[in-house]
């Protein structure tokens, strides 16, 4: 039997933004209804990272977000508003902000598996930085009929170390050292213009390629580059792997004197492998109950780790999306994402102690309501049902409380399946937890 102990009288900081995502909702449609926006808004997503946005026509397609898509001709005058195409990205950014989500803006290019254009190193690093300066001013200072949005995070590039099976790099066509020089020059320039904003990156593809990561961190340290936050990615098939990746990233940052830097695991998902049938199996898992449990398990360990944000890939309708928020009935992962938002809304984190393996949890309270969210994930699909005992203490919400159990499994979409009433500050609940199933348990005074 797995035992989870949760004492709501002992808070442990806040529930962090582990339920952030890549990309946002679409805005108004000509058809008059927009389940994508409504579902996104209801999920209470804290951040939307703008990456690969140009691949989706409803965001504005090839005109959207990326530096080379907004500033189409590198030989043009970067000081002239007429050199920029802002309108599609304006509409996209507005839809995200209207949904109550903060924009995390990735400066650079979407991944290029075929023809290379946006991932070719700029001919002039400083001019590229000045172009970014004007994009930032457009969205935060009103330049070129722009806006005064509170967009705090500006990420330089995406996965400069990425490698395909054939050895090609779909994200950076220069050398590792050229990227380091580029990052240092651009980050210093942008920070000089916007000291109040957070400038960081570089969205490392694999932290386990420590040679590349260490080269980057060493260059930033020695050459005075700016690293207000460090971002990196991970695709894997176990929650333990994700936890080890976070620990690896933290150890490298400590080694190079960046132990206090904010960290963002801002692209991640379930994946067993990148080629053939194993890749197809991974895509199928993402769309189902297994993908939802993996997602929730990773968010739980992220909350317990030295990590500031996690951003799931992807909320954009794609094979990588476990949500499918365009439909009136989203996929299973959506209900776990929304449940984490419910837990985060209570703000105060409560440490959970677990005896046993493969069950992951997160708990919170605001003093008037409390909640615990848990899931059972094991990559072994033959794993048996778990008996789980949850020992609650320090409840202190009133003389009588109602405990509500909301289940996500193959036949339930965060449905209320059970209610109990307790009259003590300490009590226990017992669950039969099926593989990949998840529970949101809410406790309220009555």
The domain locations on the chain are 16-345, 348-445
What's the rounded Cα separation, in Å, for the pair 416 and 428?
19
What's the rounded Cα separation, in Å, for the pair 48 and 3?
35
Closest CA to 63 of 36, 26, 91: 91
What's the rounded Cα separation, in Å, for the pair 25 and 326?
9
What's the rounded Cα separation, in Å, for the pair 22 and 271?
17
Closest CA to 404 of 387, 392, 416, 389: 416
> Is cis: bond before 106, omega within 30 of 0?
no
Q: Which residues contact 114 (CB under 8 A, 6 or more apart)?
A: none
- CA distances 202 to 153, 302, 373, Å, are 12, 20, 32
Question: How many helical (H) and strand (E) elements, i.e. helices and strands, does the chain have?
Answer: 10, 17
What's the rounded Cα separation, in Å, for the pair 412 and 292?
13
pLDDT at 326: 86
pLDDT at 30: 53
Looking at the DSSP assignment, which residues form a beta bridge with residue 17? 309
CB 201 within 8 A of CB 225: no
Looking at the DSSP assignment, which residues form a beta bridge with residue 231? 202, 264
Q: Which residues contact 121 (CB under 8 A, 6 or more apart)?
A: 172, 173, 174, 178, 179, 182
In a 10 Å sphere around its CB, with 0-12 CB exposed, 13-18 middle and 19+ buried, how is residue 215 labelled?
Answer: middle
What's the rounded Cα separation, in Å, for the pair 350 and 372?
9
What's the rounded Cα separation, in Å, for the pair 380 and 60?
41
Closest CA to 52 of 322, 327, 315, 330: 315
Q: Which pair of tokens denotes residue 34?
A: 């927009």
Closest CA to 86 of 111, 108, 66, 107: 66
What DSSP state is assigned to residue 118?
Answer: T
The CATH homologous superfamily of the domain defined by 348-445: Glycosyl hydrolase domain; family 39 (2.60.40.1500)
Question: What does the CA dihedral 136, 141, 146, 148 come to, rounded to 10 degrees?
Answer: 110
pLDDT in tens, the chain (446 residues): 999 999 999 999 999 999 999 999 998 765 567 899 999 999 999 999 999 999 999 999 999 999 999 999 999 999 999 999 999 999 999 999 999 999 999 999 999 999 999 999 999 999 999 999 999 999 999 999 999 999 999 999 999 999 999 999 999 999 999 999 999 999 999 999 999 999 999 999 999 989 999 999 999 999 999 999 999 999 999 999 999 999 999 999 999 999 999 999 999 999 999 999 999 999 999 999 999 999 999 999 999 999 999 999 999 999 899 988 888 889 999 999 999 999 999 999 999 999 999 999 999 999 999 999 999 999 998 999 999 999 999 999 888 999 999 999 999 999 999 999 999 999 999 999 999 999 999 999 99
* Of the options 3.30.460.80, 3.20.20.80, 3.30.450.40, 3.40.50.1980, the CATH number for the domain spanning 16-345: 3.20.20.80
Q: Which residues contact 212 (CB under 8 A, 6 or more apart)?
A: 160, 161, 176, 204
pLDDT at 232: 98
Q: Measured between alpha carbons, how far apart are the two ends of the chain, in Å?
A: 31
Q: How much of the chain is helix, strand and coil, in % rounded to 5?
A: 30, 30, 40
- Count CA within 13 A, CB hemisphere, residue 197: 27
CB 243 within 8 A of CB 207: no
Neighbours of 216 (CB within 10 A): 26
For helices 332-345 and 289-304, what crossing angle results, to 10°?
Answer: 30
Burial 323-355 (b: 16+ CB within 10 A, else e): bbbbeeebbbbbbbbbbbbbbbebebbbebebe
Looking at the DSSP assignment, which residues form a beta bridge with residue 348? 14, 365
């Amino acid at each position: 039997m797995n035992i989870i102990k949760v004492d709501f009288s002992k808070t442990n900081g806040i529930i962090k933004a582990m339920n952030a995502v890549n990309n946002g909702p679409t805005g108004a449609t000509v058809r008059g209804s927009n389940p994508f926006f409504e579902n996104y808004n209801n999920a209470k997503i804290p951040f939307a990272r703008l990456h690969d946005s140009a691949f989706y026509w409803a965001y504005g397609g090839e005109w959207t977000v990326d530096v080379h898509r907004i500033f189409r001709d590198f030989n043009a005058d970067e000081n002239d508003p007429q050199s920029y195409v802002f309108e599609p990205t304006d509409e996209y950014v507005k839809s995200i902000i209207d949904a109550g989500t903060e924009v995390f803006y990735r400066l650079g290019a979407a991944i290029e598996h075929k023809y290379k254009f946006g991932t070719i190193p700029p001919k002039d690093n400083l001019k590229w930085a000045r172009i970014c300066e004007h994009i930032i001013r457009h969205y935060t200072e009103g330049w070129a009929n722009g806006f005064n949005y509170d967009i705090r995070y500006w990420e330089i590039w995406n996965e400069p170390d990425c490698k395909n099976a054939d050895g090609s790099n779909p994200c950076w066509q220069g050398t590792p050292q050229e990227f380091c020089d580029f990052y240092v020059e651009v980050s210093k320039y942008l920070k000089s213009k916007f000291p109040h904003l957070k400038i960081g990156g570089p969205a490392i593809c694999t932290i386990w390629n420590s040679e590349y990561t260490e080269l980057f961190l060493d260059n930033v340290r020695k050459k005075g580059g700016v690293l207000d936050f460090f971002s990196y990615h991970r695709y894997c098939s176990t929650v333990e792997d994700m936890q080890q990746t976070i620990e690896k990233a933290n150890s490298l940052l400590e080694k190079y004197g960046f132990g206090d830097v904010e960290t963002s695991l801002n692209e991640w998902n379930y994946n067993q492998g990148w080629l053939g049938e194993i890749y197809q199996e991974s895509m199928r898992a993402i769309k189902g109950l297994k993908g939802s449990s993996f997602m929730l398990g990773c968010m739980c360990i992220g909350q317990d780790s030295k990590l500031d944000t996690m951003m799931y890939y992807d909320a954009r309708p794609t094979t990588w999306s476990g949500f499918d928020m365009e439909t009136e009935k989203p996929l299973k992962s959506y209900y776990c994402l929304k449940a984490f938002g419910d837990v985060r809304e209570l703000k105060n984190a409560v440490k959970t102690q677990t005896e046993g393996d493969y069950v992951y949890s997160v708990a919170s309270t605001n003093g008037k309501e409390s909640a615990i969210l848990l899931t059972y994930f094991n990559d072994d699909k033959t794993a048996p049902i778990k008996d789980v005992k949850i020992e609650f203490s320090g409840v202190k919400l009133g003389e009588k409380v109602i405990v509500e159990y909301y289940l996500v499994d193959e036949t339930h979409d965060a449905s209320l399946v059970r209610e109990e009433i307790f009259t003590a500050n300490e009590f226990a609940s017992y669950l039969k937890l099926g593989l990949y199933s998840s529970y949101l348990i809410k406790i309220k005074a009555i």
